[in-house]
Amino acid sequence: MKPTAWLALLAAATVSACAQPSPEQQIINDAAAALGGRDRIVAAKTLVIEGEGMNGNLGQDVTPEATSQAFNLTGYRRAIDVPAGRQRIEQTRTPNFPYFQGQQPQKQVLGVDGNVGYNVAANGTAARVADAAANDRRAEIYHHPLTIVRAALDPAAKATNPRTEGNQSLVDITIPGGQTLTLAIDGSTKLPARVVSRTSNTNLGDVVIETSFADYQDVNGLKLPARLTTKTDDYTTVDIRVATQTVDGDTGDLAAPAAAASAAPIAAPPPATVTVEDVAKGVWYLAGQSHHSVLVEFADHLTLIETPQNDTRALAVIAKARELRPDKPLTHVVMSHHHFDHSGGIRAAVSEGLTIIAQKAAAPLLEEVVKRPATIAPDALARNPQPLKLETVDEELVLTDKTMTVNLYHIAGNPHSDTLLMAYFPRERLLVEADVFNPGAAVSPYAANLGDNIKKRNLRIDRFVPLHAKIVPYAEFTKVVPATSTN
């Protein structure tokens, strides 16, 4: 070979080496090429997806492991304006299970516009959602092949940590604005297989949100998936079958409604308000907001029924209990059932050293919840780790000493949840229960089964002490379930 040829070859090799994309860039380039090419992707500004599907019922099914309850979705429409940072999902959801609000279809609008997340109620009223929810919705914009690859192609985006998992190539993408998501592409087709992000869940601590893509089809010169399935860890929360999708079509107005845009940001759950109502000697109703608790005084210790919702509510209720009877230690919490709104304060209760009493089918969830890390939004238990102290109840457990008796009974066979405990005070003729009888509710789909359980146990009740609503005489229950009066 002549020297000039050597030089030419060397030059070509050098150019090739310089032009060789980094492994992380290669994954993005491969995905872009598979989807329809860089130019076509960058030019795409909006996307409208219409179809139907389902929403899961994370944390609210009959048992912690159950997955049968879902909301069927019709009229699903997800409109995204990528450069504007806006997304709005409109859908009508219909529960496939006995739902506390009834089983009629319910229209929902779930939006995000920059930093403002909002919901629009069926009556048209818009409300701003918490910043944490808005943040999750901003991430959700990028849980789509077109939006994540488009963001990755932005020169201001940062791609790191290229790797392979099975047949997929993965790369982390930090998009302008700061959120980091993982893009996984199929090793053969190079099409995006999934997008993964991480967030914090009140009950579960750190969780992974993963959307997988399937059934790619040709849309306006792009390949886009017709099936999108989103999970929180292993639990399917959204599954969409796309009927039509449009790139750069009419999205409609995606701006946050004025009522939400002008509302103050919601950085944290609202401060807890804990009211105190004497129910009987040694029994207090700790209410004030949506989820109530009951404090019970024994001879040498105190027991709470329910530390609900989140750290804020649970710690406020615990503090109120200690304030009411500072001379006796608060030692136990009875959890009404595993549903996330009622168990959301369990990590806080464990951090305070309390022993949890729960129906045995809730035990695996409690064990899992207490050992999970919460590094993204460290909570009371993350700051003060404590072991779980758990006492389980199968069908019944009697808490008694010389001053107080409380019978805990499993509410068997209730369609709302199979981990429900009710607390019966035989001397005071009180029944504490959550969700299965909500005085004043428009529908009571779970009350008949509660009536069966009351009858089976032959309970003599003067007053219901519900963990929602307010204390009512037994007569209010017989209005709802007339056939089961035992009084």
Distance of CA 440 to the CA centre of its chain: 27
Task: Give the nearer residue to Zn ion in terms of CB position, either 111 or 308.
Answer: 308
Of 69-77, 120-128, 202-210, 430-438, the window that binds Zn ion (rule: CB under 5 A) is: 430-438
Q: Which position among 435, 451, 459, 466 is part of the footprint of Zn ion (CB under 5 A)?
A: 435
Task: Give the nearer residue to Zn ion in terms of CB position, either 280 or 469.
Answer: 469
Is 269 in contact with 447 (CB distance < 8 Å)?
no
Q: Does residue number 418 form part of the binding site for Zn ion (CB under 5 A)?
A: no
Contacts of residue 479, Cβ cutoff 8 Å, sequence gap at least 6: none
CB of 435 to Zn ion, least distance (A): 4
Task: Give the nearer residue to Zn ion in terms of CB position, either 61 or 428.
Answer: 61
Task: Give the nearer residue to Zn ion in terms of CB position, either 150 or 339.
Answer: 339
Task: Give the nearer residue to Zn ion in terms of CB position, either 194 or 339.
Answer: 339
| Residue closest to Zn ion (Cβ) | 339
Contacts of residue 425, Cβ cutoff 8 Å, sequence gap at least 6: 280, 283, 405, 406, 407, 431, 432
CB of 340 to Zn ion, least distance (A): 9
CB of 368 to Zn ion, least distance (A): 18
Rounded distance between C-alpha atoms, residue 302 and residue 150, angstroms: 57
Task: Give the nearer residue to Zn ion in terms of CB position, either 100 or 246.
Answer: 100
Q: Measure the N-to-C terminal CA separation of the chain; round to a whole number of Å.
A: 107
Task: Give the nearer residue to Zn ion in terms of CB position, either 140 or 435.
Answer: 435
CB of 434 to Zn ion, least distance (A): 5
In the range 376-405, which residues lie near Zn ion by CB under 5 A?
A: none
Q: What is the 3-state secondary structure (H, E, C) of the chain?
A: CCHHHHHHHHHHHHHHHHHCCCHHHHHHHHHHHHHCCHHHHHHCCEEEEEEEEEEECCCCCCCCCCCCCEEEEEEEEEEEECCCCEEEEEEEEEECCCCCCCCCCEEEEEEEECCEEEEECCCCCEEECCHHHHHHHHHHHCCCHHHHHHHHHCCCCEEEEEEEECCEEEEEEECCCCCEEEEEEECCCCCEEEEEEEEEECCCEEEEEEEEEEEEEEECCEEEEEEEEEEECCEEEEEEEEEEEEECCCCCCCCCCHHHHCCCCCCCCCCCCCEEEEEECCEEEEECCCCCEEEEECCCCEEEECCCCCHHHHHHHHHHHHHHCCCCCEEEEECCCCCHHHHCCHHHHHHCCCEEEEEHHHHHHHHHHHHCCCCCCCCHHHHCCCCCCEEEECCEEEEECCCCEEEEEECCCCCCCCCCEEEEECCCCEEEECCCCCCCCCCCCCHHHHHHHHHHHCCCCCEEEECCCCCEEHHHHHHHCHHHCCC
CB of 132 to Zn ion, least distance (A): 21
CB of 338 to Zn ion, least distance (A): 8
**What x/- string results for residues 336 through 375 when contact with Zn ion is judged by CB under 5 A?**
---x------------------------------------
CB of 291 to Zn ion, least distance (A): 7
Task: Give the nearer residue to Zn ion in terms of CB position, either 144 or 339.
Answer: 339
CB of 355 to Zn ion, least distance (A): 22
Task: Give the nearer residue to Zn ion in terms of CB position, either 174 or 237.
Answer: 237
CB of 423 to Zn ion, least distance (A): 15
CB of 308 to Zn ion, least distance (A): 8
How many chain residues bind Zn ion (CB under 5 A)?
2
**What x/- string results for residues 26 through 45 when contact with Zn ion is judged by CB under 5 A?**
--------------------
Task: Give the nearer residue to Zn ion in terms of CB position, either 219 or 274.
Answer: 274
In the range 303-342, which residues lie near Zn ion by CB under 5 A?
A: 339
Which burial class, exposed, middle or buried, applies to 33 when counting CB atoms under 10 A from its CB (0-12, 13-18, 19+)? middle
CB of 433 to Zn ion, least distance (A): 10
Q: What are phi and psi of 148, to 5 degrees?
A: -70, -40
Task: Give the nearer residue to Zn ion in terms of CB position, either 230 or 309.
Answer: 309
CB of 486 to Zn ion, least distance (A): 24
Task: Give the nearer residue to Zn ion in terms of CB position, either 418 or 435.
Answer: 435
| Token couple for 13 | 């090799």
Q: Which residue has the tokens 């999750």?
A: 136
Site of interaction with Zn ion (CB under 5 A)? 339, 435
